[in-house]
């Protein structure tokens, strides 16, 4: 019986081999994965190997119809691109899509892509790595999967990339994070647009504030904006609906708006402070315009602070009564409680320090703050000490004061 079985097996193999040689197209046998499927010309289960067909303990040699060059290709397992590779579970990535009900659901799509050049050369790549620009691997080397230039056409390499490549796994996470937020609602979309628009306006405002802090002219606002835009800073377009936001007038508007917001925040802190103090100084510009600068001193979170409060235009009138009226208008507008004011600092001018008609005396009467403490400026006092030290009384009984002769001679020598 054994000899009869062997004769039947040999005849079956020879007949099947003749049929293979008579076919016009060669049969491609996948050598990457071991197959336990039934052969088309052998009735029993076999294992396919490179050069032979193995059945139990017997080795049956088969005459191959492929040339020697094809055998070398098979040995390197680069026979060509097979479309069935795209159906392997390792070539799929997870993403999120919207179903017919508008709800997010998970979907699996193939990341494997084929690229063929003009000469017919086929390379493969990864859609995910290309989408998220994973140009370099974790070891710093170039990732050919991201550019569709991977040339080894082997299923085991494809599976290795899908399962173990760190950049591919990172791209998979990015895909899930981005797609899970797909199609946000109208409020979220509107909020995102507003946020981006607000950020571009804030960048313009920061630029204007920087120019002011550095004492640069406002006409340098436009070239500085152009420089920032070239450096990738998101700015509001130069013109929106016919309005230019990058000239000196726009910079001044931004500064005024910023100053108004900062002033409102300061007023809130002043109203929360238990006590208040004021520093006031009058000055005259080159154009003989009188103004009064005011600083506020207050307590914020148990800490003493001093901030700029305002600049008052005196309209050419620097009298004590006019200063009191202007200060009162500013305090009333901001709702400042003057009963908390206990300290006032000024220079040594009689306009402020007069016992009966000075600014301090008039404020005490107007707001009923008899406890107001007046302090004069130490710098002004020190300067006055130096100037008065060089003077003397005229000895004619009139109590007039004049500069001493030696000091006057010294000043004339200095020119």
> What number of other Cβ atoms are within 10 A of residue 204's Cβ?
20
Q: What distance in Å separates the CA atoms of residue 94 and residue 173, rounded to the nearest whole number?
A: 9
Mean pLDDT of the region 215-239: 86
- How does residue 172 score in pLDDT terms, banded at 50, 70 and 90? confident
pLDDT in tens, 351-368: 888 888 899 999 999 999
- How does residue 191 score in pLDDT terms, banded at 50, 70 and 90? low
By three-state DSSP, how is residue 276 classified? Answer: strand
Comparing CA positions, the residue from 245, 252, 246, 176 lying closest to residue 209 is: 252
Residue 336 has pLDDT above 80, yes or no: yes
Which residue in the block uniquely carries the two structure tokens 């904006």?
225
pTM for this predicted structure = 0.48
Q: Which pLDDT score, from 0 to 100, does residue 46 have?
A: 40
Residue 296 has pLDDT above 90, yes or no: yes
Q: Which pLDDT score, from 0 to 100, does residue 54 have?
A: 43
Largest CA distance in the chain: 160
Cβ-defined contacts of 76-80 (< 8 Å, 24+): 77/31, 77/32, 77/154, 77/156, 78/152, 78/153, 78/154, 79/28, 79/153, 80/122, 80/153
Q: Which residues pair with 403 in a beta bridge?
A: 391
pLDDT in tens, 84-125: 898 898 999 888 887 777 677 888 889 999 888 888 889 999
- How does residue 25 score in pLDDT terms, banded at 50, 70 and 90? very low
Please determine, looking at this structure, whether the domain spanning 273-376 carries the CATH number 2.170.130: no
Residue spans of the domains in the chain: they are: 2-76, 83-179, 187-258, 273-376, 384-414
């Amino acid at each position: 019986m054994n000899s009869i079985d062997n004769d039947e097996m040999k005849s079956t193999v020879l007949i099947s081999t003749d049929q293979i040689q008579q076919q016009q197209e060669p049969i491609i046998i996948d050598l990457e994965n071991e197959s336990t499927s039934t052969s088309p010309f052998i009735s029993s289960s076999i294992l396919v190997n490179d050069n032979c067909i193995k059945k139990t303990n017997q080795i049956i040699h088969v005459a191959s119809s492929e040339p020697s060059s094809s055998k070398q290709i098979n040995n390197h397992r680069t026979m060509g691109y097979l479309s069935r590779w795209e159906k392997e579970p390792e070539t799929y990535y997870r993403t999120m899509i919207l179903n017919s009900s508008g709800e997010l659901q998970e979907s699996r799509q193939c990341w494997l892509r084929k690229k063929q050049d003009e000469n017919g050369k086929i390379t493969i790549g990864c859609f995910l790595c290309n989408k998220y620009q994973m140009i370099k691997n974790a070891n710093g080397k170039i990732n050919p999967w991201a550019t569709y230039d991977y040339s080894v056409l082997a299923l085991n390499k494809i599976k290795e990339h899908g399962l173990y490549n760190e950049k591919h796994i990172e791209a998979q996470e990015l895909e899930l994070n981005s797609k899970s937020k797909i199609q946000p609602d109208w409020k979220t979309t509107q909020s995102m647009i507003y946020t981006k628009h607000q950020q571009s306006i804030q960048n313009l405002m920061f630029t204007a504030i920087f120019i002011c802090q550095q004492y640069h002219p406002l006409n340098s606002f436009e070239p500085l904006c152009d420089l920032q835009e070239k450096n990738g800073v998101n700015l509001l377009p130069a013109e929106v609906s016919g309005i230019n936001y990058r000239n000196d007038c726009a910079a001044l508007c931004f500064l005024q708006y910023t100053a108004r917001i900062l002033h409102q925040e300061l007023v809130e802190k002043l109203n929360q402070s238990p006590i208040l103090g004021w520093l006031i100084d009058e000055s005259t510009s080159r154009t003989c315009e009188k103004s009064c600068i005011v600083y506020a001193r207050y307590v914020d979170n148990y800490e003493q602070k001093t901030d700029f409060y305002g600049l008052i235009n005196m309209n050419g009138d620097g009298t004590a009564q006019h200063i009191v009226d202007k200060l009162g208008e500013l305090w009333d507008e901001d709702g400042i409680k003057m009963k908390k004011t206990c300290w006032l600092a000024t220079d040594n001018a009689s306009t402020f320090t007069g016992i009966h008609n000075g600014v301090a005396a008039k404020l005490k009467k107007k707001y009923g703050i008899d406890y107001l403490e007046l302090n004069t400026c130490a710098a002004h006092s020190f300067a006055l000490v130096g100037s008065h030290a060089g003077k003397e009384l005229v000895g004619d009984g009139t109590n007039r004061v004049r500069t001493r002769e030696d000091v006057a001679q010294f000043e004339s020598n200095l020119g």
